[in-house]
Amino acid sequence: MKRTAAVWMAAVLWVWLLSAGAQTSAPAKSAPLPQASPSYVIGADDTLYISVWKEPDLTNTLPVRADGMISADPHVTVVVTAMTSQRIYCMGEVLHPGAMNLLPDMTVLQALATAGFTQFANTKGIYVLRNENSEQKKIPVNYRKLVKGQGMDQNLTLKPGDTIVVP
């Protein structure tokens, strides 16, 4: 009983440290898990894989609630297994408009590859709308130049909330 209480207390402390921004290491598993960037912040709708070494009964996969908390007994190792709390948006002349999960280091070209173009897309007029310092900024993206390897500075790394507009 004392051992179980000690494991639970250590687990509570570990989860609390993790939620405050502490970094953890992934559990030793044969199948690799997706890796979040070091600056990734766990958010609502993410899914976490939680395990305690040599305590298989405490291992679980849990969703993060809308309030950012998880509903389970605390555990020692927490790994993000599904990053769905950070989204970008594609709209206009794309085949798949709407919200898209933002993957670590995702670029404009990667998002456009997922969204696809309609036959009417103006690939010279694409732009990204980004909120910076409470102002919306319009950043032009010339797709035709990008696919030719020119103007690579326009292949932005996307941030949560970015909107790609394809006129």
d(C-alpha 31, C-alpha 59), whole Å: 16
pTM for this prediction: 0.58
Predicted confidence (pLDDT) at residue 26 exceeds the cutoff of 70: no
Assess whether 62 and 78 both reside in one domain: yes
Nearest to 101 by CA among 115, 87, 116, 82: 87
Say which amino acid occupies 62.
Answer: L
Assess whether 25 and 60 both reside in one domain: yes
Q: Which of 42, 64, 82 is the last residue of a domain?
A: 82
What pLDDT does residue 12 have?
43
CB proximity list for 30: less than 8 A, separation 6 or greater: none
Record the tokens describing residue 1, joined without a space.
């009983």
Q: What is the pLDDT of residues 64-84, one digit of tens each?
A: 888 777 777 664 556 677 777
Predicted confidence (pLDDT) at residue 1 exceeds the cutoff of 70: no
Assess whether 78 and 8 both reside in one domain: yes
Assess whether 69 and 114 both reside in one domain: no
What pLDDT does residue 85 have?
80
Domain tally for the chain?
Answer: 2
CB proximity list for 54: less than 8 A, separation 6 or greater: none
Using an 8 Å Cβ cutoff, are 159 and 130 in contact?
A: yes
